[in-house]
Structure 1
Amino acid sequence: MKKTVSIRKLGLAIHLFPAKICLSTFFRKNGDDMQEIKLRWLLLGSFLSSVGMSFIWPLTSIYLHNRLGISLTVVGVVLLLNSLASVAGSYVAGLAYDRRNPYWLLVGGVATAMGTLILLIFFHGWPLFAALLVALGVASGWNLTLVNAIGTSIHHYDGRYVFNMLYFAQNLGVVGGTAIVGYVYHISVTLLFVIAAALFAFFLTVVTTQFRPVARRPRRHRPRTGEPAATVTLPHFNHWLLFAFFISLLIIWTMYQQWTSNLSVYMTDLGIPLSRYSILWTLNAGLIVAIQAILNWFSRDGKYLIYQIFFGIAMVALSFVVLIFAHSYPWFVLAMTVLTMGEATAFPAIPAMVNDLTPRALKGRYQGMVNAWASAGRALGPLFGGAVIEATAYTTLFEIAAVAIGIVFVTLVLLWTLWHRRLTLFSE
């Protein structure tokens, strides 16, 4: 049975998140007698993690360069290592989810993140800050993958709804975190790490007290035929379409990362204050929350999931077209609005589609690959953008990004048109 949420309830969710999102305990549809984890606790965990991490990533470059005096080249290397660590954490967590107890995996990941942040309270000078940031990257990728993988075990709701709500929770956390991180940073860097560590301590409390149903599950990742999970393979066309999605994530995130790395320099070169660049990200997070509320209202029919992906990718490409002509702040606001329409529709829909295309014995592995390929794009983005800008110009970078994402869009549309009747969908 699918659940839908009224606009009124979604409004309450925004203001009273997360207590009002889900009120009932529910059971598997496939006949197992074990309880599923309540969706509201999964969303709360995602929210807390998002707020905690949004206290770290927005100011990493500024802190390293302005406070610690590290060159921008070295800062780029640190960010690359952080992203690669996130790739590794995502991939290994996905494999581990299919073979080990998800409860203890998540406890370990959240505890590691909390411990790393506690160390940052006392040791945030160079080079320990960089080393701990890499460790935090592993934990971040690990935890995000496990939360998404656990989301695939919730069958009481449509998979699209679950991933929309997870994305909603993550970005609601970004709204809260980015809205106050600048103020806290000017008070004390140490206070940032104290608050982030406290949030992960709360997350760990939620995991240990409310995620027990995940630990009590039987080893559901073994197929019903009794075959070992390692022998389970994807249908041929599912495999190739998933590979196309992963390459698409790599390209899209490589280009998307220009917004978080090089665009701030471009805007300040045009005479636009850095504070207005920061406002763009508050706008981004707020719009995502609003768009997700609308999407959840229309998520009762999952057959439109692929069209949601197509629309989102097209909007991300269009945002770079707008950037080509952007020379004043209203144009950047327009570009960010278009970008947000794209990411809010495509990014949560892709893991939901991956969930539909993978059997339950392989869901953890492929959810881990979703995060790993996206993290790889985030790692490559600043280096790619910097190289293009040094060789040509910012507008050339925006043109390349628009064309590359446009090619992704056309390729996915063609593949879906040719293969969609041959795909095997796993509804469990």
Structure 2
Amino acid sequence: MTQWWGQTAGGLPRTFWYLWTATLINRLGSFVAIYLGVYLVSVRDFSPAYAGVVIGLHGAGGAAGGVLGGMVADRWGRRPAMLVGNVAAAAAALSLGLSGHPAAVATLTLLLGVFLGLARPAFTATIIDVVGERDRLRAMTLNYWAVNIGFAIAATVAGLVVRADPLLLFVINAAVLLGTAALIGLKVPESRPAAITVGQLGRADSGGLGTVLRDRVFLTFTALTGLAWLCIQGSVMLPVALQADGLPASAYGPVIAVNGLMIVLGQLFVPRLVGRFDRSRTIAVAVVVVGVGFALTALADAVWFYALTVAVWTLGEMLMTPANSALTADLSPTAQRGRYQGIYSLGYAFASFAGPTLGGLVAAWSSTDALWLGLFGLALLVAAGNLLAARPRARRIEALRAGATPAAAREAALV
């Protein structure tokens, strides 16, 4: 066990562990994102329709903040983006807990999403900056593990906190965000690579999104990632399927708990399992596993069977997520990691919005069985897309490793 732990977590730089700790602390107190809908309806007595709009604003803010944060991280540095994002998010969270006017609640929720999104690209870019290429898959896996541990605990604790005093949700969340900022401010140095000359870039780097938006290989990867996450987001319709099979609403808790339990207990075994394989092919296999899990859901009619289907698609999620993160790092030019991370985050933002929306429409117009089979078909298409993109991605990565400019790397990928 000691040898396994050393191979899994050993040899990573101290700065990474400060970032890992910041992730864990941040997620342990992420109460607002978890209980916002319940708070708006049950505590503030807003309508479910209004609550849905506000939650959508939180997601839209996160997407916009991610793009903005990527530009800030590359132009002014990782630390400014992380510090400003966390401190401003703390202020927005606390203000949200004290506000009751519908317009103020909507505005503050949007701002909270923007500020949280502002910090995320810089955070991931810092991990890429300080961790060598050979160890990035391990680092991304460990960070994803921390996210899920923190979320699992927060989801449990938040339920107790909201019963004691709903305002505590926002006070504790704000305190955690300030604690995250303090840890980063004291322990995480600036890691933004030294400025690159115009000659090295091939053109002046204005700090904008032009290079990323011209990168067809990366944009295709981001789109495929968004569609893969769309499959997983379809799981929000599981309660509807359980109800249609005559199973109690309480069955959803233990069924979906399989997802978190598997990730917490098994995620650290993933790097040794997939580390030696091509990232694109790993993602393709993982997405097929996700699709199979949802195809089996169409056959499920008992709690144990539903739990089994969750276990199958969770295995695919566990394989896919760190491979996606590592491939994002491989495809990003050194001087533009923040912006690439910001654009990459749009894939997940799209899935977070479109998954529940489309899932609900398909279930209403047809049936949940049609939804599960549709997700299986989508997963196969996404897997095929990743296999077709494997060679262009490999050529682009090799060109970047050889020191090619972003423009030259784009051309190399399309040869």
State the TM-score bracket (shorter-chain normalisation).
0.7 to 0.9
Equivalent residue number for residue 58 of structure 1: 34
- Which of 108, 113, 116 is equivalent to 1:140? 116
Equivalent residue number for residue 148 of structure 2: 171
- Which of 275, 295, 314 is equivalent to 2:270? 295
Tell me, yes or no, if structure 1 residue 365 matches structure 2 residue 342: no
Aligned-partner Cα distance in 1 for 2:229–2:154: 22
Aligned-partner Cα distance in 2 for 1:274–1:125: 33
- Which of 296, 315, 318 is equivalent to 1:322? 296
- Which of 4, 7, 28 is equivalent to 1:7? 4
Check 1:222–1:62 CA distance in 2 against 1; reply closer, same or farther (3 A cut). farther
Residues 238-257 of structure 1: matches in 2 within 5 Å?
Answer: 239-257=215-233
Aligned-partner Cα distance in 2 for 1:124–1:221: 48
Please report how far the alpha carbon of residue 420 of structure 1 lies from its aligned counterpart in structure 2 after TM superposition. 5.4
RMSD (Å), alpha carbons: 3.0
Tell me, yes or no, if structure 1 residue 424 matches structure 2 residue 397: yes
Q: Which runs of 5 or more residues in structure 1 are unaligned?
A: 14-20, 26-37
Q: Which has the larger displacement, 373-382 or 281-290?
A: 281-290
Check 1:280–1:174 CA distance in 2 against 1; reply closer, same or farther (3 A cut). farther
Equivalent residue number for residue 72 of structure 1: 48
One-letter identity of the residue aligned with 1:45: A
One-letter identity of the residue aligned with 1:322: L
Whose helix proportion is higher, 1 or 2? 2
- Which of 386, 399, 404 is equivalent to 2:378? 404
Tell me, yes or no, if structure 1 residue 103 matches structure 2 residue 73: no
Q: Deviations over 1:145-179 (max 9, x none)?
A: 22111111014462222222221221121122123
Check 1:281–1:420 CA distance in 2 against 1; reply closer, same or farther (3 A cut). same
Aligned-partner Cα distance in 2 for 1:63–1:10: 43
Tell me, yes or no, if structure 1 residue 264 matches structure 2 residue 239: yes
Q: Which has the larger displacement, 275-284 or 349-358?
A: 275-284
Is the 2:294–2:309 contact (alpha carbons within 8 Å) kept by the matching residues of 1? Answer: yes
Tell me, yes or no, if structure 1 residue 93 matches structure 2 residue 69: yes
Equivalent residue number for residue 44 of structure 1: 21
Aligned-partner Cα distance in 2 for 1:144–1:403: 32
Is the 1:250–1:376 contact (alpha carbons within 8 Å) kept by the matching residues of 2? Answer: yes
Check 1:141–1:400 CA distance in 2 against 1; reply closer, same or farther (3 A cut). same
One-letter identity of the residue aligned with 2:345: N
One-letter identity of the residue aligned with 2:138: Y
- Which of 336, 341, 357 is equivalent to 1:383? 357
Please report how far the alpha carbon of residue 223 of structure 1 lies from its aligned counterpart in structure 2 after TM superposition. 7.1
Aligned-partner Cα distance in 2 for 1:384–1:350: 24
Aligned-partner Cα distance in 1 for 2:142–2:173: 23
Please report how far the alpha carbon of residue 193 of structure 1 lies from its aligned counterpart in structure 2 after TM superposition. 1.9
One-letter identity of the residue aligned with 1:182: G
Is the 2:19–2:127 contact (alpha carbons within 8 Å) kept by the matching residues of 1? Answer: yes
Alignment partner of 1:212: what SS?
Answer: coil
Equivalent residue number for residue 411 of structure 2: none
Equivalent residue number for residue 162 of structure 1: 139
Is the 2:280–2:386 contact (alpha carbons within 8 Å) kept by the matching residues of 1? Answer: no
One-letter identity of the residue aligned with 1:190: L
One-letter identity of the residue aligned with 1:424: I
One-letter identity of the residue aligned with 2:327: M
Could you list the runs of 4 or more consecutive aligned residues of structure 1 that deviate by over 6 angstroms after TM superposition?
A: 231-236
Q: Which runs of 5 or more residues in structure 2 are unaligned?
A: 404-415
Tell me, yes or no, if structure 1 residue 121 matches structure 2 residue 94: no
Q: Percent sequence identity over matched residues?
A: 22
When normalised by structure 2's length, the TM-score is 0.85
Please report how far the alpha carbon of residue 283 of structure 1 lies from its aligned counterpart in structure 2 after TM superposition. 2.9
Please report how far the alpha carbon of residue 185 of structure 1 lies from its aligned counterpart in structure 2 after TM superposition. 2.4
Equivalent residue number for residue 412 of structure 2: none
Check 1:129–1:115 CA distance in 2 against 1; reply closer, same or farther (3 A cut). same
Q: Deviations over 1:235-283 (max 9, x none)?
A: 99x93332221111222233322323x3334434544444442344443
